[in-house]
């Protein structure tokens, strides 16, 4: 593996050769201008060692309890190896990834997916069916049509153009999980012709889970791992306190942040701050509603979800973002999802919180505020 990790703009994910280099990564920054992603509080204990790097167009950061001061080079290599494996399986930005080759394959071709890919696809389909397709892993063609898919220069601003309605309608007829012929037992997936998978609404969370699982298997009893604001903790700090996690609500001020204590579990946030464009005064989010083929139109600005697994937190953050404030809250109540929904602050919402309105689900209040 080279000393410069492959960088991707969207949440892609999985697979690489077994050898892993020891890249010197740039220091991680949890702060985003105008947006506060998840961060850690009170991490001054010298027994907590830090590593960071780059992946999927963002930063990853690890806080690892290392009271015995074991060497950290093998840990850096392990983390980067897992992340590269994710990219090689599930990155639409990688020309030779499994997902890209499936998307470009001929009609009628049957693919036997790697176990990790199959696991993520199965989870995505579970939430697709349960949410009425608020999350759909087979909308890659529409994502690309809107300009949010792979492009030659990932850092290039959006072209700020809306696609023709006829093209959207055409792709809606050929996209969607109803067109997937998937055998979970054999991990076989049929390409019906022109269907494109996109796992950006779930795969980054799975990457977090997989890194944590590999670290646990290597004997690391406690830590916190984060990719671009999605994180998972396990164990506890050396002083036996839980991890303190700061979660952003999309507001501009630090005092708007939510600070929660957590020992084991994961957080994921979905929001429209990073990827959006404006045409004729209309803001278009990067989050597409698979049911309409259009960017979400409601007032919801961000959603943060807590779950035992980051993969499911990631998927559910996307689901609630698409459903919007009212339907999202109803879905969260029905399925006992711990979540915080922050709106842009228009009239008609409740619970003023700074310049925006923040709604907390009963499951969130019970877990973190009761």
Confidence of residue 128 (pLDDT cuts 50, 70, 90): very high
Q: Can you give the pLDDT at residue 329?
A: 96
Q: Cβ(53)–Cβ(79) under 8 Å? A: yes
Tokens 């779950």 locate to 307
Q: Of 5-19, 155-169, 182-196, 353-367, which gets the smallest average pLDDT?
A: 5-19
With respect to residue 44, please indicate whether it lies within any of the assigned structural domains. Answer: no
Return binding residues for Mg(2+).
Answer: 201, 314, 318
Average pLDDT over residues 212-221: 97
Average pLDDT over residues 207-216: 98
Q: Can you give the pLDDT at residue 152?
A: 59
Greater confidence, 310 or 357?
A: 310
- Pick from 303, 369, 301, 310: which is nearest to 341 by CA? 303
With respect to residue 28, please indicate whether it lies within any of the assigned structural domains. Answer: no
Q: Which pTM was predicted?
A: 0.83
Q: Can you give the pLDDT at residue 22?
A: 34
Q: Can you give the pLDDT at residue 172?
A: 93
Q: Is the pLDDT of residue 292 over 50?
A: yes
Q: What is the CATH number of the domain that holds 298?
A: 3.10.520.10
* Paired sense of beta strands 276-279 and 294-295, if any: unpaired
**In percent, how much of the chain has pLDDT > 70?**
77
Q: Can you give the pLDDT at residue 357?
A: 82
With respect to residue 29, please indicate whether it lies within any of the assigned structural domains. Answer: no
- Angle at the Cα of 227 (from 225 to 230), degrees rounded to 5? 85
Q: Can you give the pLDDT at residue 41?
A: 44
- Pick from 24, 210, 191: which is nearest to 110 by CA? 191
With respect to residue 100, please indicate whether it lies within any of the assigned structural domains. Answer: yes
155-161 — which CB contacts under 8 Å span 24+ positions? 155/9, 157/277, 158/275, 158/276, 158/277, 159/277, 160/277, 160/278, 160/279, 161/279
Both structure tokens of 41: 């509080």
Q: Which domain holds residue 199?
A: 51-346+354-369
Confidence of residue 105 (pLDDT cuts 50, 70, 90): very high
Q: Cβ(362)–Cβ(369) under 8 Å? A: no
With respect to residue 147, please indicate whether it lies within any of the assigned structural domains. Answer: yes
Q: Can you give the pLDDT at residue 158?
A: 62
With respect to residue 287, please indicate whether it lies within any of the assigned structural domains. Answer: yes
Question: For 307-336, how does the pLDDT look when each residue is reduced to its tens digit (9 = 90+)?
Answer: 999 999 999 999 999 999 999 999 999 999
Mapping DSSP onto H, E and C, the string for the chain reads CCCCCCCCCCCCCCCCCCCCCCCCCCCCCCEECCEECCEEECCCCCCEEEEEEEECCEEEEEEEECCCCCCCHHHHHHHHHHHHHHHHHHCCCCCCCHHHHHHCCCCCCEEECCHHHHHHHHHHHHHHHHCCCCCCCCCHHHHHHCCCCCCCCCCCCCCCCCCCHHHHHHHHHHCCHHHCEEECCCCEEECCCCCCCCCCCCHHHHHHHHHHHHHHHCCCCCEEEEECCEEEEECCCCCCCCEEEEECCCCCCHHHCEEEEECCEEEEEEECCCCEEEECCEEEECCEECCCCEECCCCEEEEEEEECCHHHHHHHHHHHHHHHHHHHHHHHHHCCCEEEEEECCCCCCCCEECCEEEEECHHHHHHHCC
Mean pLDDT is highest, among 6-10, 125-129, 356-360, for 125-129
Mean pLDDT is highest, among 9-18, 294-303, 304-313, for 304-313
User: Distance between terminal CA atoms of the chain?
Assistant: 47
Both structure tokens of 339: 């979540």
The mean predicted confidence, pLDDT, of the chain is 82
Average pLDDT over residues 228-232: 92
Q: Of 191-195, 210-214, 237-241, which gets the smallest average pLDDT?
A: 237-241
Question: For 243-267, how does the pLDDT look when each residue is reduced to its tens digit (9 = 90+)?
Answer: 988 886 555 544 556 789 998 999 9
Q: Is the pLDDT of residue 231 over 80?
A: yes
Domain count, the chain: 1
Q: Is the pLDDT of residue 11 over 50?
A: no
Tokens 């697709």 locate to 128
Q: Can you give the pLDDT at residue 34?
A: 32
Rounded distance between C-alpha atoms, residue 143 and residue 294, angstroms:
9
Mean pLDDT is highest, among 18-22, 55-59, 213-217, 250-254, for 213-217
Tokens 């984060």 locate to 226
Q: Is the pLDDT of residue 12 over 60?
A: no
- Angle at the Cα of 323 (from 322 to 326), degrees rounded to 5? 140
Return binding residues.
Answer: 201, 314, 318
With respect to residue 15, please indicate whether it lies within any of the assigned structural domains. Answer: no
Rounded distance between C-alpha atoms, residue 252 and residue 257, angstroms:
9
With respect to residue 38, please indicate whether it lies within any of the assigned structural domains. Answer: no
Question: For 134-193, how does the pLDDT look when each residue is reduced to its tens digit (9 = 90+)?
Answer: 999 999 999 999 888 876 565 566 665 788 999 999 999 999 999 999 999 999 999 999
Q: Can you give the pLDDT at residue 168?
A: 94
Q: Cβ(353)–Cβ(342) under 8 Å? A: yes
């Amino acid at each position: 593996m080279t000393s410069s990790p492959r960088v991707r703009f969207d949440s892609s994910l999985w697979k690489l050769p077994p050898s892993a280099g020891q890249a010197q990564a740039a220091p991680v920054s949890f702060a985003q201008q105008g947006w506060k992603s998840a961060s850690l509080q009170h991490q001054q204990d010298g027994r907590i060692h830090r590593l960071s790097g780059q992946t999927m167009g963002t930063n990853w950061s690890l806080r690892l309890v290392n009271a015995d001061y074991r060497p950290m080079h093998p840990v850096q290599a392990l983390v980067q190896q897992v992340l590269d494996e994710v990219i090689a399986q599930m990155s639409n930005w990688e020309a030779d990834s499994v997902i890209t080759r499936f998307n470009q394959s001929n009609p009628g071709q049957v693919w036997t997916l790697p176990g990790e890919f199959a696991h993520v696809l199965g989870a995505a389909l579970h939430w697709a069916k349960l949410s009425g397709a608020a999350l759909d892993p087979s909308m890659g063609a529409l994502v690309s049509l809107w300009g949010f898919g792979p492009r030659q220069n990932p850092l290039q601003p959006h072209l700020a153009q809306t696609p023709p309605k006829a093209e959207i309608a055409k792709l809606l007829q050929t996209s969607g999980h109803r067109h997937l012929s998937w055998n979970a037992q054999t991990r076989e997936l049929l390409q019906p012709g022109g269907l494109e998978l996109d796992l950006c609404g779930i795969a980054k969370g799975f990457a977090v889970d997989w890194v944590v699982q590999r670290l646990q298997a290597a004997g690391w009893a406690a830590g916190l791992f984060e990719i671009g604001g999605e994180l998972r903790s396990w164990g506890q700090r050396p002083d036996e306190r839980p991890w303190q996690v700061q979660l952003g609500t999309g507001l501009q001020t630090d005092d708007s942040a939510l600070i929660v204590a957590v020992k084991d579990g994961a957080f994921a946030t979905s929001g429209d701050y990073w990827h959006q464009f404006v045409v004729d005064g209309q803001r278009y989010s990067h989050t597409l509603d698979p049911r309409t083929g259009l960017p979400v139109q409601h007032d919801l600005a961000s959603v943060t979800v807590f779950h035992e697994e980051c993969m499911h937190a990631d998927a559910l953050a996307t689901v609630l973002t698409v459903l919007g404030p009212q339907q999202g809250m109803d879905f969260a109540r029905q399925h006992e999802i711990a979540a915080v929904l922050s709106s842009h602050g228009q009239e008609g919402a409740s619970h003023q919180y700074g310049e925006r309105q923040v709604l907390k689900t009963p499951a969130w209040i019970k877990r973190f505020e009761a």
